[in-house]
């Protein structure tokens, strides 16, 4: 059974940084493509960034140049470094496979960018 546990969110001022982590279990981590997703109030969940098993990455235009996705195959953990945060980045952030495994969404971690 796939389990995903996100952490690292919080309240940060515009221009600040956060690093999110996603601890995973129940999958062969090193061979799957993984993604970070976010959902703001009233919006659909959207893909923010993904990383393939080879380490190739892709980003939504809205975060390109500010966010960096990475993975540690020795720890079965996915990361998202978020810099130059903007109020519009406020959302609950989730990790999952890409395409997502619909029965495996975790609780997510809240990121709030505000003064």
Mind listing the pLDDT tens digit for each residue in 62-72? 999 999 999 99
CB-side exposure of 22: number of CA atoms within 13 Å?
Answer: 29
Sheet-wide strand order for 34-39: 10-12, 109-113, 91-97, 34-39, 46-51, 57-59
Mind listing the pLDDT tens digit for each residue in 88-101? 999 999 999 999 98
Bridge partners, 115 (sequence order)? none
Mind listing the pLDDT tens digit for each residue in 5-50? 999 999 999 999 999 999 998 888 888 999 999 999 999 999 999 9
């Amino acid at each position: 059974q796939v389990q995903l546990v996100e952490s690292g969110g919080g309240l940060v001022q515009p221009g600040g940084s956060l690093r999110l982590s996603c601890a995973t279990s129940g999958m062969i981590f090193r061979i799957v493509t993984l993604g970070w997703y976010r959902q703001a109030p009233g919006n659909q969940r959207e893909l923010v960034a993904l990383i393939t098993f080879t380490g190739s990455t892709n980003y939504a235009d809205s975060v390109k140049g500010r966010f960096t996705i990475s993975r540690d195959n020795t720890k079965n953990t996915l990361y998202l470094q978020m810099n130059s945060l903007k109020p519009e980045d406020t959302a609950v952030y989730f990790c999952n496979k890409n395409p997502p495994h619909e029965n495996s969404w975790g609780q997510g971690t809240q990121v709030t960018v505000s003064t």
